[in-house]
Amino acid sequence: MIAGIGVDVVDLQRFTRAVERTPRLRERLFAEAERALPVHSLAARFAAKEALIKALGGSEGVRWHDMEIVADEERNPGFLLHNVVERDVRERGITRIHVSMSHDAGVAMAFVVTEKDERA
């Protein structure tokens, strides 16, 4: 059963300017393993984190490092969750999180769907 849906869009030019203007933004928004990626990939990951927050219904207590985008064996994106976000997901009974990210024509976007077991 779908528990939540979130979508977010990031203007690549604006995001690039922000990262160039504030170099510590990479450290503030991304886990260590994410930081060296190209800016268009970072923008898509930022959109995915925002989309997850929307799918969960809010950001109270959330830190950016609590949500890390990782790839599975087939290179499909997914979330590795920590701390407040991991606890919130578990307490809500969410059993699966789907994420899709893309970037093209000056925009990065992400779509997140959370699921929970109907029997829960």
Q: What is the CATH number of the domain that holds 100?
A: 3.90.470.20
Distance CA 97, CA 79 (A): 7
The predicted structure's pLDDT at residue 39: 95
Q: Which domain holds residue 86?
A: 2-116
Q: What's the whole-model pTM score? A: 0.93
The tokens describing 15, both together, are 């995001």
pLDDT tens column, 18-53 = 999 998 999 999 999 999 999 999 999 999 999 999
The predicted structure's pLDDT at residue 117: 86
Q: Where on the phi/psi map is residue 108: left (φ > 0), alpha (ψ -120 to 50), or beta? A: beta
The tokens describing 96, both together, are 């699966």
Q: Rg for the chain (alpha carbons), in Å?
A: 14
Distance CA 54, CA 60 (A): 11
The predicted structure's pLDDT at residue 8: 98
The average pLDDT across 55-84 equals 92
How many structural domains comprise the chain?
A: 1
